[in-house]
Structure 1
Amino acid sequence: MYGDVDVPAAVQRALTGFLDLQQERLEAIGPELTEQVQAARDATSGGKRLRPAFCYWGFRAAGGDPAQPILTAAASLEMLHVSALVHDDVMDSSDTRRGAPAAHRRFEALQRARSEVSGVGGDPVGFGVGAAILLGDLCLIWADEMLHTSGFDAAALARASKFFDAVRVEVTAGQYLDLVAQASGVSDMDQALRVLRYKSATYTVERPLHIGAALAGGDRRLIEALSAYGLPVGEAFQLRDDLLGVFGDPALTGKPAGDDLREGKRTVLVAYAVDHASEVQLAEFDRLFGRPDLDDDEIQLLREILQDSRAVRACEDLITERTEDALDALDRAPLADDTARKALADLAIAATSRQL
């Protein structure tokens, strides 16, 4: 529950109904495509539903009538999120997502099983990567279709499309910045903060708020107020995510502990450690960071360097600071609905202090 509505349940109903229609469409092309739809169903099941929740409460903040099809429109952001996750897992060669095989590993296993039965078949790894890329592309297309067939009139959709287009560009740009950062082999705080903003903060909080508010006809003053709240919440959200990527419990995060260290993620956490570690610590960090074969002891050593350099403390302080900034901005925001103000305050806390 977020506020007075069960956003996750409503979003799940919208996604299930939409994918039922897509299954009929794709099965008419070929029964093999059921594998793609089923992968999309599994990928859109569960999760925190934060983006749809921010969209919904942005709509309510602008005085939107909850009887309108806002939750269907908001569900399009979950489809967009799945597209980004599928492609992200391919780029990072991740094995798992939310405790299950990542999409490319899922398709790889399907192809390997078919090859074992038939005795023939192409490369399962290549098949898995290709199938996952296509799944991500389908989900990106479906996100647009979900929004534009949600039931809002043309004027509302035109207002929202400006922000929906922006978020798709920004998250793709942020992903590229992330790739560049990893390929550079250098941890730079300014670069890490840019990735933080465009890969996560605008995409997770600010733009979903804007889309919801635009659907309800929110004015420029409200849009700017929602940015003043949404950007710091989004940044704090990603800082928390970076900490969980290193120190989180795999049973809660759904990913192996220390995966971000194996993948060499150039996060704000890492940039701070590189700037403040001793020469001995830095040499050890450079030797281990980004090695895919890190064992548990090496992961623990990297964690200790992050702790001893005060990088963890610095990220916690930034999370607190950004969250307080967001709540201060929310207090001043010209919202049309006080229920929305309370829900957005609760969402800020849920997004930045979460364990999942």
Structure 2
Amino acid sequence: MQLPDPQSLPAAPAAGADEAVAGVGGAAAEQDGYRELLAERMAGFLDLQRGQLQEVSGDASELVDAIAQLADGGKRLRALLAYWGWRGAGGARLADEAVQAGVAIELFQAAALIHDDIIDRSATRRGKPSVHRRFELSHAERGWALDPAHFGQAAAILAGDLCLSFSEEVFAGIPAASGSARVIFNRMRTEVMAGQYLDVLEEVAGPGRPAGEAVGRALQILRYKSAKYSSEHPLCLGGALAGAGPELIAAYSAFSLPLGEAFQIRDDVLGVFGDPATTGKPAGDDLREGKRTVLIGLAVDRCSPAEAEFIQAKLGSPDLGDSEVDSLRAIIDGCGALAEAESMISAFSSDAYSALEALPVEETVAGALRALADRAVQRTS
């Protein structure tokens, strides 16, 4: 079967075709234009893939439907960082290469979320059923044979693998996807898998490891599972695609890595203290999933032995009640762990903003990156 060439998809405007967009509304209008092109390209690519799978079987196209629903949401932070990395390195406004890079990154993000939700047994994502839960519910509604939960997980694993394949296909279709850009893209994927494994390992091995090292282990997981691929790699990838040299890539990294670390610690705080109405996940979901985050590491280090024993006993219990979630929150807050996590967010953010001031990019790009940084560390969902 001949797969579609990403270059055959509807193209974004040629370089320079949208000069007026940025001139009227500045970076905000340019960014809005990029998001629209990204959505169009994503929808067009997935429509082509859906058609290919329908040639195999109408049933198989449900894999693409699940991917499309998940990829339609989100903040697009990674794709936007890639775009402004491209622009900061001299790339043309709303260029097709930057749009394709955004699609590839968003598809990789979707694949990571699908697999992450299976690993964490998360029933929801962005206020909707997670992909494995979607397939599980479909099984139950249609009255199919055997175990609906097993079917849901199996189908979601395949959807995630397919999404990874789609991401590579789109990225490989970018003419400049070679050299340092290819190295960054490959490293991003490898490091996320390694970080994800370390996260899973920490859940089972962490209770038997030295408590005083828990924060350091959590920071290592945070860096490789999330921070690098959430901000550092996308920004550097965009720059590399536009021909950025080692000095600019290093400057991008100095800004984006601490930004990603602040972003993820904020995510960890929201996973325990966030409002379900804005996070789209049940209250205290990270506690039920047993996530051994920086926040938990700080709490275990700071609280009393009895409180630490309570955390260890309750963390990862899927039937954790609301009262127990409230008790864990009270321990985390009362021992100063929440305040220390907020201090770490402030410190990483300060490093990021200082590096941003030194970035050798035009003010339009710097302003856009500053706005994205504000959203990343001050968010409530």
- TM-score, structure 1 length as denominator? 0.95
Match for residue 372 of structure 2?
347
Distance 2:257 2:154 in 1: 34
1:124 to 137, 145, 148: 148
| Dislocated runs of 4+, deviation >3 Å | 1-4, 155-159
1:31 to 46, 58, 65: 58
The answer to whether the aligner puts 1:66 opposite 2:82 as a matched pair is: no
Match for residue 38 of structure 2?
11
Judging changes above 3 Å, is the alpha-carbon distance between structure 1 residues 156 and 107 closer, same or farther for their aligned structure 2 residues?
closer
Total equivalences in the alignment = 348
Match for residue 184 of structure 2?
163
Match for residue 133 of structure 2?
105
Match for residue 229 of structure 1?
255
Letter in 1 for 2:259: V
CA-to-aligned-CA distance 1:230-262 (integer Å, 9 cap, x gap): 100000000000000001111111111101001
2:283 to 253, 257, 278: 257
Contact 1:156-1:217 within 8 A present in 2 as well? no
- Superposed CA RMSD: 1.4
Match for residue 342 of structure 2?
316
Secondary structure at the counterpart of residue 5 of structure 1: helix
1:278 Cα shift? 1.4
CA-to-aligned-CA distance 1:320-355 (integer Å, 9 cap, x gap): 1111111111111222x3211111111111101101
Secondary structure at the counterpart of residue 73 of structure 2: coil
Distance 1:328 1:185 in 2: 34
Identity of aligned residues (%): 45
CA-to-aligned-CA distance 1:103-139 (integer Å, 9 cap, x gap): 1111111112222xxxx52321111110000000011
Letter in 1 for 2:146: G
1:80 to 99, 102, 108: 108
Match for residue 239 of structure 2?
213
The answer to whether the aligner puts 1:47 opposite 2:47 as a matched pair is: no
1:156 Cα shift? 4.5
1:67 Cα shift? 4.2
- TM-score, structure 2 length as denominator? 0.88
Match for residue 295 of structure 1?
321
Distance 2:35 2:155 in 1: 28
CA-to-aligned-CA distance 1:69-125 (integer Å, 9 cap, x gap): 11222121111001000001111111111111111111111112222xxxx523211
Distance 1:268 1:341 in 2: 30
Letter in 2 for 1:53: L
The answer to whether the aligner puts 1:146 opposite 2:170 as a matched pair is: yes
Match for residue 363 of structure 2?
338
Contact 1:74-1:147 within 8 A present in 2 as well? no
Contact 1:323-1:349 within 8 A present in 2 as well? no
Distance 1:192 1:159 in 2: 29
Distance 1:227 1:16 in 2: 31
Distance 2:276 2:39 in 1: 24
Unaligned runs of 5+ in 2: 1-24
Unaligned runs of 5+ in 1: none
Greater RCO (CA < 8 Å, at least 6 residues apart): 1
Letter in 2 for 1:338: E
Contact 2:31-2:80 within 8 A present in 1 as well? no
CA-to-aligned-CA distance 1:159-203 (integer Å, 9 cap, x gap): 421111010001111000100111114251111010010011101
Distance 1:102 1:328 in 2: 38
